[in-house]
Amino acid sequence: MKRVELKNVSKSYDGKTNVMKDINVAIEPGEFFVLVGPSGCGKSTMLRMIAGLEEVSAGELYIGEQFSNKLPPSARNLSMVFQNYALYPHLSVQQNITFGLHTKKISRQEQQQRCLEAAEMLGLSELLNRKPRQLSGGQRQRVALARAIVTHAPICLMDEPLSNLDAKLRAKMRSEIRQIQRKLGITMIYVTHDQTEAMTMADRMMILHNGEIQQIGKPLEIYNHPENTFVASFIGSPPMNLIDVILSEGKVVLDDERSVPINGENLKSYSKGNEVTIGVRPEHIQLAKDGQLSFMADVVNVEVLGTETLLTFEIGKGQWIAKWNGQWNIDVGERVPLYIEEKDLFLFEKESGRCIWHQPKTEQRKAVKEAVL
């Protein structure tokens, strides 16, 4: 296992415009670290810099304890799985898996043993004599993963390896890759634009946007405590509901008709110009019970997904979504009473998007602990 560290790393192709800016992160040995963000945010560029396929324009890259800015890819002792798998069509599965091991001066007997071990681990033992064209998408993905495993490299880089698979197979392969990483104890750096993959696979993850770090942390920490509106809207399915509002004493005004009660004392130091962005997760918008009422809303769309129901309603100039467990028999156009607890609200600065108020982490952790006990 090896540590990977980037210190003030930037990347520029023309010497002027940075596509990545001041990246600072330490990826610990044996960690499953996920880089996630929209297309063009710089996550694949960062992975390629770690692999040595792109030069570091500024800053320092360390692999283990070794300064690696100018180290050639062959000397970095890592493996990589690409999005398109990069299998040789004229070679068998076994030949694809062991391809490149001869350059490491590994005996044929050792190559054979490593291949058989990896094939058994990934369910490829019966397919070793087949060609890639005779394999399904999931099987090809396993071959690419096996080729990375047999190198016994302490670091494995993965660049959106599941993007070509269907939804059901992606879910299966997410679990398999995570189990293999735990079993081998390797450091894995995984790139994806799919926040579901990031949430389900990562020990920690980094969210990138426009070449800059938005937040680094454990998946649930980021979900429960997003640092800005971009993270709040990117992580979560459906994403967090956001709207620009006016703060007034004792309530948050959503639009001309609706408001949510809130303790004015909590907001005194944050009510800059009385204009902020408010956010709430879809699962925290509840059906109001006796004695509860935040506002009334007209339902404009209903999606019953079997295990949950999504209700869309208009707020101001936009639309919000509520997510309720189970199957709800609610019609479009129906008017429903909704309730939002103060502890479930997020307030963000309108211009910068920075989170300025939410229930303190310590209080939330204490509540979770008490609920478990």
8 A C-beta contact, residue 36 and residue 192: yes
Count Cα neighbours of 35 within 13 Å in the Cβ-side half-sphere. Answer: 29
* Per-residue CA distances from 126 to 94, 99, 135 (Å): 11, 19, 12
Q: Do 80 and 201 share a domain, yes or no?
A: yes
pLDDT band at 270 (very low <50, low <70, confident <90, very high): low
Compute the distance between CA of residue 301 and CA of residue 353 in angstroms, rounded to an integer: 28
Give the model's pLDDT for residue 214. Answer: 97
Asked if residue 149 belongs to a domain, the reply is yes
Same domain, 212 and 265: no
pLDDT surpassing 70 at residue 115: yes
Alpha carbons within 13 angstroms on the beta-carbon side of residue 76 total: 25
Q: pLDDT tens digit string along 162-188?
A: 887 788 888 888 888 899 899 889 999
Higher-pLDDT residue of 10 and 263 is 10
Q: Considering the domain boundaries, does residue 358 fall inside one?
A: yes
Q: Are residues 141 and 251 in the same domain?
A: no
Angle of CA points 357, 362, 364, to nearest 5°: 75
Q: Is 26 a member of any domain?
A: yes
- Asked whether residue 187 falls in the same domain as residue 335, the answer is no
Least confident range from 157-161, 244-248, 314-318, 339-343: namely: 244-248
> What single DSSP character describes residue 163?
T
> Any idea what the CATH number is for the domain that residue 364 is in?
2.40.50.140
Residues 27 and 158 grouped into a single domain: yes
The residues facing 217 across adjacent strands are 205
Helix/strand/coil for 327: coil
Q: Are residues 256 and 330 located together in one domain of the fold?
A: yes
Q: According to the model, what pLDDT value does residue 280 have? A: 95
Instruction: State the sign of the Cα–Cα–Cα–Cα dihedral 37, 40, 46, 52.
Output: positive
SS3 197: helix
pLDDT at 370 over 70: no
The helix (run of H) or strand (run of E) holding residue 370 is helix 361-372
Which positions ≥6 away from 42 have C-beta within 8 Å? 11, 19, 20, 208, 210, 211
In a domain, residue 231? The reply is no
* Same domain flag for 207 and 274: no
pTM above threshold 0.85: yes
313 located within any domain: yes
Q: Are residues 167 and 261 in the same domain?
A: no
Is the pLDDT assigned to residue 66 strictly greater than 90?
Answer: yes
Residue type, 144: A
Residue ranges making up the domain that contains 253: 238-372
| Distance, CA of 284 to CA of 286 (rounded, Å) | 6
Does residue 245 share a domain with residue 200?
no
Instruction: Report how far residue 175's alpha carbon sits from residue 166's, in angstroms, rounded to the nearest whole number.
Output: 15
Task: Tell me: cis bond preceding 238? Omega within 30 of 0 counts.
Answer: yes
Could you say which of 177, 194, 224 is where a domain stops?
224
* Burial class for 259, CB neighbours closer than 10 Å (0-12, 13-18, 19+): middle
Section 284-311 average pLDDT: 92
**Closest among 116, 125, 155, 160 to 141, alpha carbons compared:** 160
Give the chain's mean pLDDT. Answer: 88
pLDDT at 362: 38
Domain end point (choices 177, 195, 224): 224
Q: Contact 347/254 with Cβ under 8 angstroms?
A: no
217 and 263 housed in the same domain: no
Does residue 160 contact residue 198 with C-beta atoms inside 8 Å? no
Residue 123: CATH number of its domain = 3.40.50.300
Q: Look at 130-134, 163-167, 200-204 and tell me which has the smallest mean pLDDT.
A: 163-167
Q: Over 70: is that where the pLDDT of 367 sits?
A: no
Q: What is the CA radius of gyration of the chain?
A: 25
Q: Give domain status of residue 293, yes or no.
A: yes
**What percentage of the chain has pLDDT greater than the value 70?**
92
Q: Is residue 40 part of a domain?
A: yes
Residue 242, strand partner residues = 279
| Shared-domain flag, residues 160 and 32 | yes
Q: List alpha helices for the chain, DSSP H.
A: 43-51, 93-98, 108-122, 137-149, 167-184, 195-201, 219-224, 229-234, 361-372
CA-wise closest residue to 56 among 131, 3, 6: 6
Could you give the C-alpha distances from 230 to 182, 222, 266, 277, 291, in angstroms and in order? 31, 12, 24, 12, 35
Burial of 106 (0-12, 13-18, 19+ CB in 10 A): middle
**67 pLDDT exceeds 60?**
yes
Q: Residue 214 is encoded by which pair of tokens? A: 């938005």
Q: Which two tokens stand for residue 55?
A: 């030069």
What's the whole-number mean pLDDT along residues 148-161?
Answer: 92
**pLDDT of 334 strictly over 60:** yes
State the total domains in the chain.
2
pLDDT tens, residue by residue, 17-60: 889 999 999 999 999 999 999 988 999 999 999 999 999 999 99
Q: Using an 8 Å Cβ cutoff, are 299 and 312 in contact? A: yes
Note whether residue 91 is domain-resident: yes
Residue 189 has pLDDT above 80, yes or no: yes
Q: Are residues 131 and 279 in the same domain?
A: no
